[in-house]
Structure 1
Amino acid sequence: MHRVFMLLLLASISLFAAPVDGGVARVPDLPSYDVELSGSADGTTWSGRVTVAFTNTSDEPLPEIYLRLWGNVHDCKAVVVRIGESTGDCTVVKVPLAEPLAPGKRTSVAFDATMTAPNRLDRFGRSGTYSFFGNALPVLAVRDNTGWHLEPDVGIGESFYTVAADFRVRLTHTGNLVVPATGVTTGVTTDGVTIAKQVRDFAWAAGPFTMSEATSPGGTKIRTWATSTVALAAVVDARTKAMTALDDFGRRFGAYPYGEFDLVLNDRWTKFSGMEYPGFVLLISPASPVVHEVAHQWWYGIIGNNEYADPWLDEAFATYATDLHEGNHRPACWPRSLPTAITSPMSYWQAHQASYGAVVYTYGACMLHDLERLIGTPAMAGLLTTYAKAHWHGVSTPADFKAAAQAASGTDLTSFWRSHAMG
């Protein structure tokens, strides 16, 4: 049950066409976030006002929306993300609209929010004098043809599902901090406002980071933000790998659209080695999976999916993309048997965590390598380019990929899918 509380509702009468990606209409859609947050002097707490506008892209009135407070997933008792005076059902808040929103109409909701980085070494947490706000900002839940997606974060991998949105964010503070964030900060002419276009989330960090900057041969600005104990050699290594991967994947899958890429390096994390956000990646240093996290800029960041239902759609593709970049063809890597299909959802992996990485990442990539061997490298390259373009800033499903692969193949793939645990 979701506790209901009222938010300020701001009506609009704009009319928009309903976008449909992969044959599935998603609602609310065309979201834009306007965020004004003030940080504490040490950067651990940020409070302010969030306004999110959206369009009802369905063919029926929309009586409510839901917000996801993913930051509370490990802290339901402590409550590290608050909206107004209520936290709803920990990570889900139901927001009834003042009146049902008619099809094609646009409206917005506004609410006060407070986010405090919990004392843990995690993507939303603290490491000494550094605070990290990954999946901290409340975002819109998604409704599609199967209903509202309010599934939990199961504690491994990612269980997120969002549509691409525009963010305008102002993060102000009085402390001796630097604040790397998703998007591009436009500078003093607009009072330090950060703009991020068509991204699925907005993340930031705060602390006395050391920043260095370079530009890739392809023209992408790379900013590297390091905590005080990260060695300079690790910074240079991560930046170099990110540069080459961004340019390479841009040639393979479509040009990187965000202009700037931020790497945030820390050597104290224990719960993860890397976590991707659009244009913003958290990495353990040294020995960080830089190329894999860069690949996620395309596979989930740009070409989205429901990570709870289909975790392989981004993890297998990011692993395969890393292999392409590194020249690793994984010959004969498909196993004789699997404990389950690579298409299993996170509800399965929550109960079978020991095999999650091998099946979803490794064997998922093996399936893609075998598909390349079957249809040929030129056809596979063309498939990925066409598939990415068709779902650019959209949401893809397993059926979408299988259809795209079949269109690129000169042979019926039914037996291939069956032999590779794809149904």
Structure 2
Amino acid sequence: MTTLRYGRALLPALAALLLLLPQTAAARDARDAREVREAAPVAATPDRPSYDVALRSDADGSHWTGRQTVSFRNAARTPLRSIDVRLWGNGTDGCGAPGAPSPVRVSKVAGGTPRPLTVGCTALRIDLPEPLPYGARARVSFDVAITVPDRVHRFGRDGAHRYLGNALPLLSVRDAQGRHLDPDVGFGESFHTLAGDFRVVLDHPSALVVPATGTTTRRPGAQGRTVSTSVARGVRDFAWAAGPFRTKSVTSPGGVRLNAYWTAATPAEGVALDLKNAVGSVDAFGKRFGRYPYGELDLVMSDNLDDFGNMEFPGLVLLWTEPEGSAVVHEIAHQWFYGIVGNDQFASPWLDESFAQYANQLYYGEDNATCWEDQGAWPSDTAALTRAMGYYADGRRSEFVRVVYMRGACALHDLERVLGGPAMARMMRGYVRDHWLGVATTADFKRAAQAATARDLGPFWTEHRIR
């Protein structure tokens, strides 16, 4: 995500919650946590998720209802007794209020026993009927009701257009750090998911144009309705939009299909510039980091996203587009850094935002020879590139863009000067290859960089506060 314009750098709650649960549930969680600690190393689980979703919309795409099934494998050596489903669409509204329920609601759970919602109604724990052994698969299903909030947002409304980013319930991750139940802090991203496969069937009025993650086919439904089926493999999330979008499709020289969708008020010159930069950058990044794997990429554009900015999803980006264009190159870079090479976005936001901004600046050929020095002093003694979102949410939001976007990108340019351009390019391509559709950590990146040079990078990490 970025609120930076035109691709340039302008710019343990869980323990308390357990006390509220019945002792038997708390005891089960304590046992699960103990098993996580004792099993070293612990693979991220549940993995290899497969989502099968069928939703029907109302007349204008504001309400979607249907059924979702998710199957998964236990990748950990210890039995899996429960799973966590994240309802990130409730991150802003939480548990709602009388007469105004949460935007995303789940009911009629099959394949397990749901507990009460926690973490501001963004986390639903489902106890499995019996422990799931290592390597075995299971599935749960539930009804889903989604109401698009009345705000201009990645999950919100823009006139007659609806954006459904972070609206679909997703499996959370359990690993050596335990269960990842971090909150949505209201800016940036707090998400951590494993790559999986999606098949999403959307039944909607034919008057609505519906861009979506994945490859989409359409067929006539009931009178006046269309059934759009989107299939995406190896993605961490699924997003879609609905509205009277204008459309255009082009294919890059490298063979990537780019589908542009824009509102009537979006300036034509901005649409043209976004398409040009999208075509150029998706091929450039494919050559530099590894070929774009999703076949097609949707660009959803509006001139009314200024209070929100821009946002990346696998195979779909939301863009605040003005005559000067948007941050489309930065958002497309996220297809590699967060999408292909995943990371815990709450714990390590620099691993996607700094890397996307670095790639963005490479594409534009910006002169960053002195950018680290140009940043001046660190904003605080406690600032560091590797701080988590919780740090910024604790009264330090003003540091977020300055450190994660600006200093982070500059640090990578500095590393390129240390390694040399060709060695940096080889290292980055190898780093992407080694973590393709996986999850990388700061330690993984530091190892990759150190392996690319005989020089001790310890002082570099210290100077750039990469810990």
Pick the TM interval, shorter chain. Answer: over 0.9
Pairing 1:337–2:377 present = yes
Matches within 5 A, 1:1-400: 1=17, 25-76=43-94, 77=96, 78-84=101-107, 88-89=117-118, 90-174=121-205, 176-188=207-219, 192-286=228-322, 287-334=325-372, 335-338=375-378, 339=380, 340-350=383-393, 351-400=395-444
Query: Aligned-pair distance for 1:189?
Result: 11
Q: Call closer, same or farther: CA 1:196–1:189 in 2, change over 3 Å.
A: farther
Query: Aligned-pair distance for 1:411?
Result: 0.7
Question: Does structure 2 retain, via aligned residues, the 8 Å contact 1:295–1:321?
Answer: yes
Residue identity opposite 1:152 in structure 2:
P
**SS of equivalent residue, structure 2 residue 371:** coil
Q: Deviations over 1:278-335 (max 9, x none)?
A: 0100001114101000100000011000000000000000000011111114122224
CA distance in 2 between counterparts of 1:189 and 1:368 reads 49
CA distance in 1 between counterparts of 2:263 and 2:42 reads 43
CA distance in 2 between counterparts of 1:233 and 1:370 reads 35
What is the aligned residue count? 405
Q: Deviations over 1:153-179 (max 9, x none)?
A: 111111110000100010002352111
Q: Call closer, same or farther: CA 1:178–1:84 in 2, change over 3 Å.
A: same
Unaligned runs of 5+ in 1: 5-22
**SS of equivalent residue, structure 1 residue 25:** coil
CA distance in 2 between counterparts of 1:54 and 1:118 reads 30
CA distance in 1 between counterparts of 2:307 and 2:91 reads 15
**SS of equivalent residue, structure 1 residue 113:** strand
RMSD: 1.7
Query: Aligned-pair distance for 1:88?
Result: 1.3
Question: Does structure 2 retain, via aligned residues, the 8 Å contact 1:25–1:58?
Answer: yes
Question: Does structure 1 retain, via aligned residues, the 8 Å contact 2:267–2:303?
Answer: no
The equivalent of 1:401 in structure 2 is 445
The equivalent of 1:7 in structure 2 is none
CA distance in 2 between counterparts of 1:289 and 1:250 reads 18
Residue identity opposite 2:364 in structure 1:
E
**SS of equivalent residue, structure 1 residue 342:** coil
Greater mean alpha carbon deviation, residues 389-398 or residues 190-199: 190-199
Greater mean alpha carbon deviation, residues 279-288 or residues 305-314: 279-288
Question: Does structure 2 retain, via aligned residues, the 8 Å contact 1:45–1:115?
Answer: yes
Residue identity opposite 1:337 in structure 2:
A
Question: Does structure 1 retain, via aligned residues, the 8 Å contact 2:42–2:77?
Answer: no
Question: Does structure 2 retain, via aligned residues, the 8 Å contact 1:63–1:97?
Answer: yes
Question: Does structure 1 retain, via aligned residues, the 8 Å contact 2:384–2:466?
Answer: yes
Greater mean alpha carbon deviation, residues 333-342 or residues 381-390: 333-342
Query: Aligned-pair distance for 1:192?
Result: 3.6
CA distance in 1 between counterparts of 2:286 and 2:409 reads 19
CA distance in 1 between counterparts of 2:244 and 2:235 reads 26
Q: Call closer, same or farther: CA 1:52–1:347 in 2, change over 3 Å.
A: same
Fraction of identical pairs, as percent: 49
Question: Does structure 2 retain, via aligned residues, the 8 Å contact 1:181–1:204?
Answer: yes
CA distance in 2 between counterparts of 1:265 and 1:32 reads 29
Q: Deviations over 1:198-242 (max 9, x none)?
A: 000000001111111111111111100011111222211111110
TM-score (norm 2): 0.84
The equivalent of 1:413 in structure 2 is 457
CA distance in 2 between counterparts of 1:416 and 1:174 reads 56
